[in-house]
Amino acid sequence: VVAQDLAGLRVVVSAGGTREPIDPVRFIGNLSSGRQGIALACAAQDRGADVTLVGANLTEPLDGVADVVRVGSTAELRESMRLLAPDADVVVMTAAVADFRPARTPASKIKKVPGQGPAPIELVENPDILAELARERLRPGQVVVGFAAETGDDTGDVWHHGRAKARRKGADLLVINPVGHGKGFGTDTNEVLIVDAHGETVAQAQGTKREVADAVWDTVLKASPPISS
Ligand code: C5P
């Protein structure tokens, strides 16, 4: 039996990786599997929370998560998050969001013209959904949690970059997650440091993505007692 310690809490978790359309058949994407986000949604549901998973291009099994909203691009992810956030006690942005998107998306497929080189793809910056949600607090008292996948050979550097990101984003909690070199993306296990908005360590966790998910929820519960009823 799992303790129902998140009962009464409404949570929204984003997971997966966004795809930014280049034309009707091509996109700019990333390697996020969405497994950590699915594990977070699943753990919250098992612990009694009312969960909505906003899944960006998920192909992994959803492990029984009941309420799933499917999105593709960053624009769609942002729209869903902003629609759901006003009713959420906790918002967790696990999705890997593209920093940039093609400035224009032609209605028909871009063709290769013989004798001509590749046409450049102009990019424009995407809004930072996490930073917006943290700044605007669409529900008063809401806890906003972000993830930071950081690459680096030196774990010290990884934590350092993560702490700086925490201060920039303004989320209540940022889960710093080393990726690359067989870590993080697409793997079964994770090793994370959870920091607050000042970049100070509040918890550490390692293990399966489910174990890391449970550690994140434990930290959320400690950081701020349940607000809703
Ligand atoms: O800056 P970086 O992409 O490393 O930040 C990661 C965190 O910010 C994740 O929680 C991710 O979901 C969120 N993010 C976002 N909107 C963006 C970029 C990242 O919400 N445009």
Sorting pLDDT into bands at 50, 70 and 90, what band is 171?
very high
Strand partners, 201: 195
Nearest to 97 by CA among 70, 72, 69, 123: 72
Tell me how far apart the alpha carbons of residues 161 and 148 are, in angstroms, rounded to a whole number.
Answer: 9
| Nearest-10 Cα torsion for 65, 71, 74, 79 | -90
Strand partners, 192: 205
Sequence ranges of the binding site: 99, 109, 127-130, 147, 165, 169
Q: 55, 70 in Cβ contact below 8 A?
A: yes
pLDDT at 226: 46
Q: What is the mean pLDDT of residues 191-213?
A: 95
Contacts of 113 by beta carbon, 8 Å cutoff, 6+ apart: none
pLDDT at 192: 94
pLDDT at 227: 42
CA 102 to chain centre: 21
Ligand 1 midpoint to CA 20 (Å): 15
Q: What is the mean pLDDT of residues 8-37?
A: 96
pLDDT exceeds 80 at position 187:
no
Point out the ligand 1 atom lying closest to the alpha carbon of residue 132: 20
pLDDT exceeds 70 at position 118:
yes
| pLDDT tens per residue, range 33-72 | 999 999 999 999 999 999 999 999 999 999 999 999 999 9
Q: What is the mean pLDDT of residues 157-183?
A: 90
DSSP secondary structure string for all residues of 169-215: H--SEEEEEE-BTTBSTT-SEEEEEEEETTS-EEEEEEEEHHHHHHH
Query: Do the bridges between strand 173-178 and strand 143-150 make them parallel or antiparallel, or are there none, so unpaired?
Result: parallel
pLDDT at 145: 98
pLDDT at 74: 98
- Residues contacting ligand 1 via CB (< 6 Å): 93, 95, 97, 99, 126, 128-130, 146-148, 165
Ligand 1 midpoint to CA 165 (Å): 10
- For a ligand 1 pocket test, name from 93, 124, 132, 145 the mutation site with the most ligand atoms within 8 angstroms of its C-beta: 93
Global confidence as pTM: 0.94
DSSP secondary structure string for all residues of 42-74: HHHHHTT-EEEEEEES--S--TT---EEEE-SH
Point out the ligand 1 atom lying closest to the alpha carbon of residue 148: 6
| pLDDT tens per residue, range 82-116 | 999 999 999 999 999 999 999 999 999 999 999 99
Sorting pLDDT into bands at 50, 70 and 90, what band is 181?
low
Average pLDDT, the chain: 93
| Annotated catalytic residue 177 | no
Tell me how far apart the alpha carbons of residues 7 and 26 are, in angstroms, rounded to a whole number.
Answer: 42
